[in-house]
Amino acid sequence: MIGPLTIALPDWTADLVDPGRAFRSVEERMQLAIALARENVLRGSGGPFGAAVFELETGRLVGVGVNLVVGHHNSVLHAEILALMTAEQAVGSYSLRADGLPAHELVASCSPCAMCLGAALWGGVRRITTGATREEAMAFGFDEGPVFPESYRYLERRGIAFHADVLRAEAKAVLELYQDQGGMVYNG
Amino acid sequence: MIGPLTIALPDWTADLVDPGRAFRSVEERMQLAIALARENVLRGSGGPFGAAVFELETGRLVGVGVNLVVGHHNSVLHAEILALMTAEQAVGSYSLRADGLPAHELVASCSPCAMCLGAALWGGVRRITTGATREEAMAFGFDEGPVFPESYRYLERRGIAFHADVLRAEAKAVLELYQDQGGMVYNG
């Protein structure tokens, strides 16, 4: 029961990531999150969700994630969770607000669920940028958990800005792709 | 950035866990969660929080967790997250409601934060039993995130019961012990 857990992103994610590249615009950042989500569907490695963490000002890529819940037998492994975990490993701290660090942004192909909103707060990002909406995810059968208008205000009071609807149609198209391929909607 | 992450519970947790034991009463279950929290403070391995997952009817122990955030450079690793992850590994599914499984319970030494409430929903537990309250945690400086009365009602509508205030004084005492030892309150 208490042996170590190993969490590994699929090998193909390395093909999408050019560590030297600066993702200057928010659209470039979202394109990466959507590409991660789409490839995750096409490769059959998980649900239709991708996310990444960037330095807010420079656009330097710090962490990436895709949904790995079913394959890893691990309900926690949403794309945003992986992006935050890998970013924290990269900076060597449990907080992306640690002393000396620049501001960081979480970019997610779909509006984060209740768990991931909480995780983004503890991870210390300064902005959350999203593509497909909560309502669109729910229309495809994905539960988003207990998220309310007051949830966003709570995070805003903790210094987190929200930037919604970035490349929303392209992000929603990945949910449609997953549905067309007969992808399992768990926790629906 | 995308190398594998390894998450390992401290070796001492094995000393607290007798895999053959049935934890029949809710108080016995909470005593284990509190013992995990207390040892985590005394050994300096993390924050003052412990949790475990049990089969609801039999009391069979399925997963355990302690807070490992600071040492692992990983803001996601709250005690409840580890307990859910290890339980899912043990049953071999991303859901503790998978076909053929009995009902499971998450027992946490302190009321779960927003992230962990969401995680408990995705993990598929049927009951959440808690010791110290949200208000007590916040009085010690721990932020609990965007959790509202409606959050609990949302989970109740998804078939999760709540059992609060079990051995509450003993659970709160671990928060006091952590404070007395000068433990760092991050995300405060």
Q: Are the CB atoms for B131 and B109 separated by under 8 Å?
A: yes
In the predicted model, what is the mean pLDDT of residues B85-103? Answer: 97
pLDDT digit string (tens) for B136-148?
999 999 999 999 9
In the predicted model, what is the mean pLDDT of residues B70-99? Answer: 97
Q: What is the pLDDT of residue B186?
A: 76
pLDDT higher than threshold 90 for residue A2: no
Residue with tokens 């010791």: B131
Higher pLDDT, B174 or B184: B174
Angle at which helix B26-42 crosses helix B168-180, to 10 degrees, equals 0
Residue B114 phi, psi dihedral angles, 5° rounding: -60, -45
What is the distance in angstroms between the Cα of B27 and the nearest Cα belonging to chain A?
Answer: 22
Q: For the whole prediction, is pTM greater than 0.95?
A: yes
Where does the pLDDT of residue B89 fall: very low under 50, low under 70, confident under 90, or very high at 90 and above? very high
Contact B1 A7 (CB under 8 A): no
Residues of chain B with Cβ-Cβ distance to A13 below 8 Å are 2
Contact B2 A86 (CB under 8 A): yes
In the predicted model, what is the mean pLDDT of residues A159-188? Answer: 92
Burial class (CB in 10 A: 0-12, 13-18, 19+), A112: buried
Q: Is the confidence metric ipTM above 0.90 for this complex? A: yes
Residues of chain A with Cβ-Cβ distance to B89 below 8 Å are 1, 3, 5, 73-74
Output the CA–CA distances (angstroms, integers) from residue A47 to A91, A121, A169, B66, B126, in the order listed. 27, 23, 18, 28, 24
What is the distance in angstroms between the Cα of B150 and the nearest Cα belonging to chain A?
Answer: 8
pLDDT higher than threshold 80 for residue B37: yes
One-letter amino acid of A87: A
In this structure, what token pair is assigned to residue A72? 């890893």
Where does the pLDDT of residue B187 fall: very low under 50, low under 70, confident under 90, or very high at 90 and above? low
Quick one: CA dihedral B3, B88, A75, A178, positive or negative? Answer: positive
